[in-house]
Amino acid sequence: MKSKTKQIKLIFTLILTLLAVIFVVLNTNNVAINFGLFQFKLPLIIILVLMIIIGVLIGYFWGSYGHNQDKNN
């Protein structure tokens, strides 16, 4: 049963990754980023990739934190 759940998670993750890559590749125009005191322009593809990486890291650390809490109880 666990192996089927892992396979479903893997397929779901691969589909989401493919959609994210397609979305990122289609959005390559320059956009202005405003931090209040300063502003700069970057290609949207760079910003999207950075946000995806940050999201994955947050999900990983948040998930591992919850997993460690379960082990302690």
Domain positions in the chain are 1-66
CB atoms within 10 A of CB 27: 13
Low-confidence ranges of the chain (pLDDT < 70): 1, 65-73
CB atoms within 10 A of CB 48: 19
47 and 34 in contact (C-beta within 8 Å)?
A: no
**What's residue 40's pLDDT?**
87
